[in-house]
A and B are shown apart, each in its own frame.
Chain A
Amino acid sequence: MPFYVSPEQSMKDKADYARKGIARGRSAVVLRYDGGILLVADNMSRTLHKISELYDRIAFAAVGRYNEFENLRQAGVKFADVRGYAYDRRDVNGRMLANAYAQTLGAVFSESSKPWEVEIVVAEVGETADSDQIYRVTFDGSVVDERDFVAMGGSADRVSTSLKEHFDKDASLAGALAAAMHALAQEGGEQRDIEASSLEVAVLEREREHRKFRRVQGDRLNRLIEEGKAAEEPAAGGDDAGDSDDS
């Protein structure tokens, strides 16, 4: 027998449900560095990606339920490719894709009883650092235009706080990766060790030709992590002090 639930209550329940679903997974961060945009996800799988290429200058990062964000990713690739083929490659941009995702997620959230438990980022690297775009789209279809960095999924608040402390938009790739790893290590309320094997890393390199997206893995990733650690050593004292303040 159907009974009455107020729209407010139903929306609130749906939002709580989605938020809980998203918070269960591990975090992902997207941040700027001196050569473009870095995307890092805490991901055990080597083949089921949370980060991928959408188009020449545009990347996708997501947290939450795999089948749901994979569906969005594939739709975005199709959308971008059809548009770029019909018009010109320059006519595909991040704002457009972020809008399409927002409309889609918004419609799912209000129309179906189960909202999608996903949060995604559409990042576009521009000709200059000023024209970089980072959009965060949440499960209910709201879009936020982020300036420098985003953290989502898992303990996003903690990760975000740590990122805010360590973020430097002029950092080198190794420096930005170190900041991202430090932030991701805040997961679950305690400092964890993150291994290269559980990281999914990709960059949008401004200077790269044609397609800017590139995965960073294997030896290159290990080298970057070492480099970041080496650079961090002198500042290690200050870092520890900051951490003890948190706890």
Chain B
Amino acid sequence: MSETFDGGGRLPAAFMTPGTSSFTDFLREVNPDLLPGLRDVPQGGSSAQHLTPEATTIVALTFPGGAVLAGDRRATAGNVIAHRDMDKLYRADEFSAIAIAGAAGVGIELAKLFQVELEHYEKMEGHSLSLEGKANKLATMIRGNLAMALQGFVVLPLLVGYDEADRAGRIFSYDPVGGRYEEHRFHSIGSGSVYASGALKKLFTDGLTRDDAVTAAVQSLYDAADDDAATGGPDVHRKIYPLVDVITEEGHRRLPNDEIAEVAEAIVRARSERPEGPTAPLR
């Protein structure tokens, strides 16, 4: 540790040795303590599962020219609300964002490492990884967490990006062993995902505008919060609203709070008239 962070001293030999463009691999050489997932978790039985709060519903959908990623703000530990204003979405780089469901502590660490990994590669090589490359890299990192997953610290990310080659938004989901699946049109993960997916299935059409896609995402999160105790709905009193990231050829953009507040409040108002929300035509 001291060798690596000797700020005033010369750069250590390991830093001057040409080698990998992977930040994770480099860190494993010089400072493995900093890597997540390498620690041995003591066999604590099921109680270990409550060491870190669980993060919940995330939705993603594509629209012509981009993709929307949105998440609620609640983290729970058992039946207790651990956080009301958690941020489960991370800007991974200019053209991608990652969201996490599952063990919050481990997930945040993973998202942070993934972010540095992409950036490090880009700086070392002079160009960024393809979206496929980013998706595959994330799969490897999930696989690295398998031992932790078996102890109950399961982390499932959702990767959303704008593919500059395809000029379209794309969505990738994962399983706990690192299986990578490309999702078309829309997808949802987390405890409220069944309800959110149901809502999205009815709301999604192929030609959504960006604003409609954002509304559809917030609507589906409302439905998830409606039926899943571990998902938080828009909290109009505390002014806590879902977080929404939009990725287009312009890059990644986190929507400002007042913009989402407007969408969320309109939805809450409409739901006071019709609690089940918008209906789809029967045929």
Contacts and interface: CB of A to CB of B under 8 A. Distances in A.
B123 interface: yes
A86 B34 contact: yes
B201 interface: no
Contacts of A78: 15, 26, 120
Of A81, A99, A104, A107, which is in contact with the most chain B CB atoms at under 10 Å from its CB? A81
A21 to B, nearest CB: 19
Contact of A104 (B5, B10, B34, B123): B10
Interface residues of B, number: 26
A189 to B, nearest CB: 33
A75 B15 contact: yes
A214 to B, nearest CB: 10
Contact of A74 (B94, B113, B116, B124): B124
B11 interface: yes
8 contacts: A71-B16, A74-B18, A75-B16, A77-B120, A81-B116, A81-B123, A100-B8, A211-B119
A49 interface: yes
Contact of A100 (B10, B112, B119, B124): B10
Contacts of B270: none
Contact of A103 (B10, B23, B94): B10
Contacts of A47: 126
A103 B8 contact: yes
Contacts of B27: 82, 85
A85 B34 contact: yes
Interface string A98-130: 011101101100000000000000000000000
Contacts of A75: 11, 15-16
Contacts of B30: 82
A25 interface: no
A81 B10 contact: no
Contact of A71 (B9, B18, B23, B31): B18
Given A85-B113, A210-B91, A107 B10 contact: yes
Interface in B4-21: 4-5, 7-11, 15-16, 18
Nearest 6 CB-CB pairs, A to B?
Answer: A103-B10, A75-B15, A104-B10, A75-B11, A77-B123, A104-B11
Contacts of B119: 81, 211
A194 interface: no
Given A82-B4, A86-B31, A86-B34, A77 B116 contact: no
Given A86-B31, A210-B91, A100 B11 contact: yes
Contacts of B9: 100, 103
Contacts of B5: 82-83, 86
Of B10, B26, B34, which is in contact with the most chain A CB atoms at under 10 Å from its CB? B10
Interface in B162-187: none
Contacts of A99: 7-8
A61 to B, nearest CB: 14
A81 B120 contact: yes
A133 interface: no
Given A82-B5, A103-B11, A211-B119, 11 more contacts: A71-B16, A71-B18, A77-B120, A78-B120, A81-B23, A85-B34, A85-B116, A100-B8, A104-B10, A104-B16, A107-B10
A218 to B, nearest CB: 15
Interface in A11-33: none
Nearest to A67: B18
Interface in B97-143: 112-113, 116, 119-120, 123-124, 126
Contacts of B4: 82, 86
A116 to B, nearest CB: 11
Contact of B7 (A54, A71, A96, A104): A96
A37 to B, nearest CB: 18
A1 B253 CA distance: 68
A79 B14 CA distance: 10
A49 B9 CA distance: 26
Contacts of A52: 123, 126
A99 B8 CA distance: 6
A71 B14 CA distance: 11
Contact of A85 (B7, B15, B91, B112): B112
Nearest to B1: A86
A53 interface: yes
Nearest to A83: B5
Nearest to A86: B34
A24 B149 CA distance: 57
A52 B126 CA distance: 8
A225 B243 CA distance: 41
